[in-house]
Chains A and B, each alone.
Chain A
Amino acid sequence: MKYMTLIYSDPSLEPAYGTAEFETMMQGYGMLNEALKTAGVYVAGDGLQDVETATSVRVRGGKTETMDGPFAETKERLGGYYIIDCADLDEALRFAAMIPSAAYGTVEVRPLADYGL
């Protein structure tokens, strides 16, 4: 079963670039990537650039509306994701809890819909 883990956090609560905590966090991500690959559950994963780079788009009445900014302005922002292929929710939650940002923000775990395509 494929799960997407959506990593939300408030950038002001995350360790600042250049600090020892930041190094620890990045090492944590390195270790997590290894662990996911060793366990054979890794499908995909990326960090996102900051919400300042976000552009939102919607189509209303056939017209495309383009807006600066993310879908929702919240303190906690979507900062990255993993897609992992796990046996069940317990396994997915175990890996989600290993995501270093879970210590600062929140990781939402959602099963991918299987449309059989």
Chain B
Amino acid sequence: MRQDRGRVLSSLMAKFRNFDQAEEALQEALASAFTHWNRNGIPHSPAAWLHAPSRKAIDRLRKARRDEGLSQDIVLLSQGDVVAESHGVTDQRLSLIFTCCHPALEPKSSIALTLRTLGGLTTTEIANAFLDAETTLGQRLSRAKAKIAQAGIPFRVPEPQDWDERLNSVLKVIYLIFNEGYCASSGASSVRVDLCEEAIYLARMIEALRPDEPEVLGVLALMLFAHARYRARIAGAGVVPLEAQDRLLWDQAKLKEAEACLDRALALRKTGPYQIQAAIMALHSQAAARDWGQILMLYDALITFDANPVIRLNRAVALAEAGFLELALQELTTLEGALTMYQPYFAAKADLLRKAGHEAAAQTAYAQAIGLARNAADVAWLQRQKSAAT
């Protein structure tokens, strides 16, 4: 049903070019469908069934528009019908995600809009997932839809010259959704599996529509690698670091799928930041003794795409693991200004200081990390590290 929802909604969007009207038509179709299905059972193809009643809604809205005297739109609406366009349905879902993730929208709005329209989440579920008040989220969605209509944000697959930039902004939104699930920003649990799965579902959808985009495969592989380990990563209220995880808890099917995606991406020979991050994850997942030299090389490649402080922090950790502890500590010093509010920075700093034998400085850094931790699991893990370092 959830796939069907996105499919039907995007074909209605193609018709109306207006979110509110498309959603209204879908709501009406769903209401009528549930009445019917309660009586006669669920049909073989719910989507096809939904298209038919939504056509009734189109007729009604068409009439409403005629009453408003908007005759031009009626001509547009009368051309073809939703069912006849089913051959183009896949591209319409792609169009819809490009609309939702348009860089002219705030990332937070894009996330909400994408989860609402293409994911299977209700407004209440999205509000809960992001710990937002439902009214706030509703307003955010309304503002985003209004901007789409008023600023003329298109409902179509981008032109070739815009393709890379726009795809990147779609992948960014998907990866933000995943990360929100993976590093839950607050609350007792540090993984919100539903958001992780939602993000993977969206990436799979794009992958099915455009199978030869290396970065789509890259982001899918990256998320699958991370998600495959979630059962081993959380124990009670604590986060288990990679080296201490019980590998028997890793989801082998997901890891295999991740590797297959990454292989396909690399075979396309157009490297990009998501593929590199996925490759780093692959190395972390393979052997018990990790090849830090190779991981460091991949980080060197990654910072040519994106030299943001978080990536430089991760590179510094790889640098230390590869045997360059002093260089890594120097690099951390240059990053401190940019990462003063970033808990993992202080956790990494504490760890490296401890390895270098600076115990007092390590204690201070652990305390700073604990002060910045956003959930109970991180606090518990850092407390254990801090005690072990004395």
Contact = CB atoms under 8 A, between A and B. Distances in A.
B152 A88 contact: yes
B161 A111 contact: no
A89 B16 CA distance: 17
A93 B151 CA distance: 11
A85 B323 CA distance: 60
B154 A89 contact: yes
Interface string A90-107: 101110000000000000
Contacts, number: 28
Contacts of A87: 152, 154
Contacts of A3: 152
A92 B161 contact: no
Contacts of A111: 150-152
Interface in A63-95: 86-90, 92-94
A89 B152 CA distance: 5
B158 interface: yes
Given A89-B151, A89-B152, A110-B151, 9 more contacts: A1-B152, A86-B152, A88-B153, A89-B102, A90-B153, A90-B158, A92-B152, A93-B104, A111-B150
Nearest to B154: A88
Considering the complex of A and B, which 4 residue pairs feature the smallest CB-CB distances, nearest first?
A88-B154, A88-B152, A1-B152, A89-B152
Interface in B141-175: 150-154, 158-159, 161-162
Contacts of B154: 87-90
Contacts of B152: 1, 3, 86-89, 92, 111
A94 B165 CA distance: 12
Contacts of A88: 152-154
Contact of B104 (A1, A89, A94): A89
A111 B154 CA distance: 13
15 contacts: A86-B152, A87-B152, A87-B154, A88-B152, A88-B153, A89-B102, A89-B104, A89-B151, A89-B152, A90-B154, A90-B158, A90-B159, A93-B104, A94-B161, A111-B152
The listed residue with most A CB atoms (<10 A of its CB), out of B151, B159, B161, is B151
B65 to A, nearest CB: 15
Contacts of B153: 88-90
A1 B149 CA distance: 11
Contacts of A109: 151
Contacts of A93: 104
B168 to A, nearest CB: 15
A92 B104 CA distance: 12
Contacts of B162: 90, 94
A97 B206 CA distance: 28
Nearest to A2: B152
A5 to B, nearest CB: 13
